[in-house]
């Protein structure tokens, strides 16, 4: 097991997470080991996309350590509620899935308490939690080869845009005669 996270030392990665994510959240730290394990199990030099099965913490690890971000479209979040990520060849959909494996947590009880929400946050021993995360590294993880379904890897073309006749802003005409906001999805009063 390597204690490096991509090109960073653990301490460097800890600070990068703190700066971007706002705090050194346990999930984002473990996420660093997850990304590292996934990348090391991909063929070298391929262009890959990322799929993240949770909205919580893990997307930030992916964005910090890979070329995949939400804004460039290489990272997709599919909120299935599982602490797992997949990296896969952009063209073939072949890749790897890494998940945080409860079956490997026996030696790491404080990680287990945190992950399974077995203690209220106030009762967690956070010193022990951070020590266990660092010591466990990739020992908490499992990996399997995956093939992404073809409809998931199709390039989404955005098509023509027009001005919405109601709000006057640009929107994709494939959304209909009005933009989605003016069709009722506006989150504003």
Q: Of 109, 179, 186, which Cα lies nearest the Cα of 140?
A: 109
The CB density around residue 169, as the number of other CB atoms within 10 Å, is 11
Stretch binding a copy of itself (CB under 8 A), from 6-14, 37-45, 47-55, 130-138:
47-55
Does 85 interact with a copy of itself (rule: CB under 8 A)? no
Q: In this structure, what token pair is assigned to residue 59? A: 């997307």
Contact call for residues 160 and 173 (beta carbons, < 8 A):
yes
Stretch that binds a copy of itself, among 4-12, 35-43, 131-139, 173-181 (CB under 8 A): 173-181
Q: Which range of residues in 1-9, 37-45, 122-130, 177-185 is near a copy of itself by CB under 8 A?
A: 177-185
Question: Which residues in the 132-151 window bind a copy of itself by CB under 8 A?
Answer: 146-149
Question: Exposed/middle/buried for 77, CB within 10 Å: 0-12, 13-18, 19+?
Answer: middle
Among 121, 122, 157, 160, binds a copy of itself (CB under 8 A): 160
β-strands 48-52, 75-77 pairing: parallel
Is residue 188 at the binding interface for a copy of itself, with CB under 8 A as the rule? Answer: yes
CA atoms of 189 and 187, how far apart (whole Å): 7
Q: What 8-state DSSP symbol labels residue 105?
A: -
Tally of CA atoms within 13 A in the half-sphere of 55 that contains its CB: 1
**Which listed residue (58, 65, 133, 141) binds a copy of itself by CB under 8 A?**
58
Does the footprint of a copy of itself cover residue 55 (CB under 8 A)? yes
Q: Which residues bind a copy of itself (CB under 8 A)?
A: 20-23, 25, 28, 51, 53, 55-61, 63, 67, 69-74, 77-84, 86, 97, 99-103, 115-117, 146-149, 152, 158, 160-161, 163-164, 167-172, 175, 179-181, 185-189
């Amino acid at each position: 097991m390597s204690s490096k996270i991509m090109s960073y030392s653990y301490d460097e990665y800890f600070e990068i997470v703190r700066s971007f994510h706002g705090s050194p959240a346990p999930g984002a730290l473990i996420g660093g080991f997850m990304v590292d394990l996934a990348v090391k199990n991909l063929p070298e030099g391929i262009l890959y996309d990322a799929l993240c099965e949770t909205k919580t913490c893990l997307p930030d690890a992916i964005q910090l350590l890979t070329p995949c971000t939400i804004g460039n479209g290489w990272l997709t979040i599919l909120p299935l509620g599982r602490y797992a990520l997949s990296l896969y060849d952009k063209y073939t959909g072949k890749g790897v899935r890494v998940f945080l494996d409860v079956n490997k947590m026996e030696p790491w009880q404080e990680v287990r308490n945190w992950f399974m929400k077995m203690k209220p946050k106030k009762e967690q021993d956070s010193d022990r939690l951070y020590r266990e995360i660092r010591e466990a590294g990739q020992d908490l993880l499992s990996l399997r080869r995956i093939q992404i379904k073809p409809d998931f890897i199709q390039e989404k073309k955005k098509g023509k845009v027009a001005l919405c006749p109601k709000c006057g802003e640009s929107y994709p005409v494939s959304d209909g005669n009005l933009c989605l906001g003016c069709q009722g999805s506006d989150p504003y009063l």
